[in-house]
Amino acid sequence: MTQGHPESTGIRNIGRASEIARFTDGGIDVRIEWPDEALMVAITVSRDESAFAVLYDRYVDLVYSASLRVLADAQLAEDTTQDVFVRLWRRPETFISERGKFLSWLMSVARNRAVDELRARGRRRKREGGPLGEPDEASTPLFAGECEDPPRSAELHEAQVLVRRALTGLPVDQQRALELAYFRGMTQQEIAFTLHEPLGTVKTRIRLGMQKLRRALEQQV
């Protein structure tokens, strides 16, 4: 008998999720085809280690890449990635499927954790009298147009292509403002200071950029 995967029920629906989890067995080979939300159900309800391993293998590169993009430091990016996944295992209930896709949630968690680390590092540097400039700012491209490695799945590949296409479709100054806010953790005033632009200009660029992205990615998110 071929085992299926639990439906994406939302982790709040614990009763049904427990029922589903009882029928889940067979290790990574089976779970590798499950959708993200089903794996999260298995993790939350059954403490399913195989499900966790599948999720890790599926998204570790994305989490690591986002962390590295924010921190520009391989060691710190590793630490951040480890922290994100360990927290996911210990507190999977923080993901609520009704609020959106798992991938968007995971990437938000990874980005926020990396920005926290970036700001903490900035405070440490400021305290220790080190340079305050952002690392690797000039050499790193804006939102990349292509991948270094082939994506793990067609779905992921498609999502990445969509996002990158939406971003590269924005004017460069809007891309830049979003980049500094999202990957550098800068506030609007800091962005205005960095770009030598008025605060109102920066706010407009972010607003317009987000509007265009919303239209372009309406189906994706």
Partner 1 sequence: MATVHITQEQADEYAIGSLEPQAERLVALHLGECLACRELARDSERLAGALALAAPRRKAPHRLRQRVMRGAGLMRPSPFHRVTVVARAAAGIAAVFVAVAAFTGMVSIRGQMGDLREHNDRLQAQIDDALSQKIEIAALTRGLDEAERNSAELKRAAASDRDLLLALMSPKTKVADVFTRDDGTFSIGRLVWDEDQKRVWFVARDLPQRPKGETYQLWANAGGRFYSLGIFAPDVTGFARYDTTVPQGLATYESAVVTVERAGGSNERTGPSVFVADLSGLRN
Residues that bind partner 1 (CB under 8 A): 49, 52-53, 56-57, 60-66, 68-69, 74, 78, 81-82, 85-86, 89-90, 99-101, 103-108, 110-112, 115, 140-141, 143-144, 147-149, 151, 159-160, 163-164, 167, 178, 181-183, 185-189, 191, 203, 206-207, 210, 213-214, 217, 220-221
In whole angstroms, the minimum distance from the beta carbon of 56 to partner 1 comes to: 6
Q: What are phi and psi of 89, to 5 degrees?
A: -70, -40
In whole angstroms, the minimum distance from the beta carbon of 1 to partner 1 comes to: 28
Amino acid at 48: D
Buried-exposed string 57-73: b where 16+ CB fall within 10 A, e elsewhere: ebbebbbbbbbbbbbbb
Please, what is the end-to-end C-alpha distance for the chain in angstroms?
A: 35
Q: Which residue lies nearer to partner 1 by CB, 2 or 75? A: 75
Q: Which residue lies nearer to partner 1 by CB, 16 or 182? A: 182
Helices then strands (H, E): number in the chain?
Answer: 10, 0
Q: Which residue lies nearer to partner 1 by CB, 21 or 88? A: 88
Task: Report the C-alpha gap between 56 and 118 in whole angstroms.
Answer: 23
In whole angstroms, the minimum distance from the beta carbon of 157 to partner 1 comes to: 10
Q: Which residue lies nearer to partner 1 by CB, 35 or 56? A: 56
Task: Report the C-alpha gap between 107 and 117 in whole angstroms.
Answer: 15
Q: How many CB atoms lie within 10 A of CB 218?
A: 8
